[in-house]
Amino acid sequence: MKKHNFNAGPSILPREVIEDTAKAVLDFQNEGLSILEISHRAKYFQPVVEEAVELFKELLSIPDGYSVIFLGGGASLQFCMVPYNLLEKKAAYLNTGTWAKKAMKEAKGFGEVVEVASSADANYTFIPKDFTIPADADYFHITSNNTIYGTELLKDIDSPVPLVADMSSDIFSRPIDVSKYAIIYGGAQKNLAPAGVTFVIIKNDVLGKVSRHIPTMLNYQTHIDGGSMFNTPPVLPIYTALLNLRWLKKIGGVEEMEKRNKAKAELLYNAIDNSKIFVGTAKKEDRSRMNICFVMKEEYKDLEADFLKFATEKGMVGIKGHRSVGGFRASCYNALPIESVQALIDCMDEFEKARA
């Protein structure tokens, strides 16, 4: 049976990217060796990192003065690396969900942390709009897409202080104005590559301003100077990221990607809004295109387990909602075809007709 992969992360990648990764595992560039058994400094691998960096810059129109690096440790390590490298006295955070809160928690070990606004009281169903960013903060941290709650900040905001964004789950889903950000980071396993690599886009001139000693491996400058080769980088995930970026370029880049993502999200949200039994959980104006969260209306609540079983039997994978929201979450990342969204909607319709 065909599977429709709505996993929240690690998540769907284009089939051809997976197939070409598999080929490189067996024989990398017809050299008779696997990509798993060559030096990361080999003449074969160095160009992989270089091309991946170039494609980041090209596809996101990254201006001069920025570096792109690949690290280990996931987005979670960035929760600590950001304050380590940037926080001298005070940092500001927008609390929009679980990941934002975790980022904020780490920063508290390095200085004063100001929560400028929070939607915690409303179970993070919206993104706060009215807030003031303290002009004396060393940086302002946001989470552009809240993977668990299904809200997304779809515009690049203006910040009077360096803007830092966790874009783990919406990077490359739409064009962004990188010049508005000081740092953009994310774990790759949602929209870019398999788990194991973290990308960081850094404006070079925000570094070197804190007085504390920064351990070598946690210092961004180390990895910028080393071209992501200070220590052995996650070779295979970086290679898959490169293949995925080539795929993205081939289909028309982030502009085309945004069109496709919009179309998928509109299709599914329309179906939810027109349903007798399902209802969306996030406020309409803040709805995520990447993670679409919905539950059953109060009077049908006891059918949730049945629908999950029904949909799973029809090939839907990964649609169970996160425990903090409940219900269902359909993650519609870049590589998910619109046919999968339609298949889910067909499931929802069929279930509704049979049971409600």
Which residues of the chain form contacts with ligand PLP (CB under 6 A)? 9, 74-76, 99, 143, 147, 166, 168-169, 187, 190
**Other CB atoms closer than 10 Å to residue 321's CB: what's the count?**
21
Tell me: is residue 324 an annotated ligand-binding position. Answer: no
Q: Which is nearer to ligand PLP, 171 or 311 (CB)?
A: 171
Closest distance of CB 42 from ligand PLP, Å:
27
Two tokens, residue 138? 């060393």
Residue 312 Cα to chain centre, angstroms: 25
Tell me: is residue 99 an annotated ligand-binding position. Answer: yes
Closest distance of CB 339 from ligand PLP, Å:
25
Tell me: is residue 61 an annotated ligand-binding position. Answer: no
Q: Which is nearer to ligand PLP, 98 or 342 (CB)?
A: 98
Amino acid sitting at position 312: T
Two tokens, residue 175? 């064009």
Closest distance of CB 251 from ligand PLP, Å:
23
Q: Which is nearer to ligand PLP, 56 or 99 (CB)?
A: 99
Closest distance of CB 312 from ligand PLP, Å:
23
Distance (Å, whole) CA 117 – CA 131: 6
Q: Which of 20, 138, 170, 190 is catalytic?
A: 190
Q: Which of 99, 138, 170, 320 is catalytic?
A: 99
Distance (Å, whole) CA 328 – CA 278: 10
Q: Which helix (H) or strand (E) holds 305?
A: helix 304-313
Tell me: is residue 247 an annotated ligand-binding position. Answer: no
Tell me: is residue 143 an annotated ligand-binding position. Answer: no
* 247: annotated active-site residue: no
Cα 119-78-168 angle, rounded to 5 deg: 60
Q: Is 185 exposed, middle or buried (0-12, 13-18, 19+ CB in 10 A)?
A: buried
Residues flagged as binding site: 41, 75-76, 99, 147, 166, 189, 231-232
Active site residues: 99, 166, 190
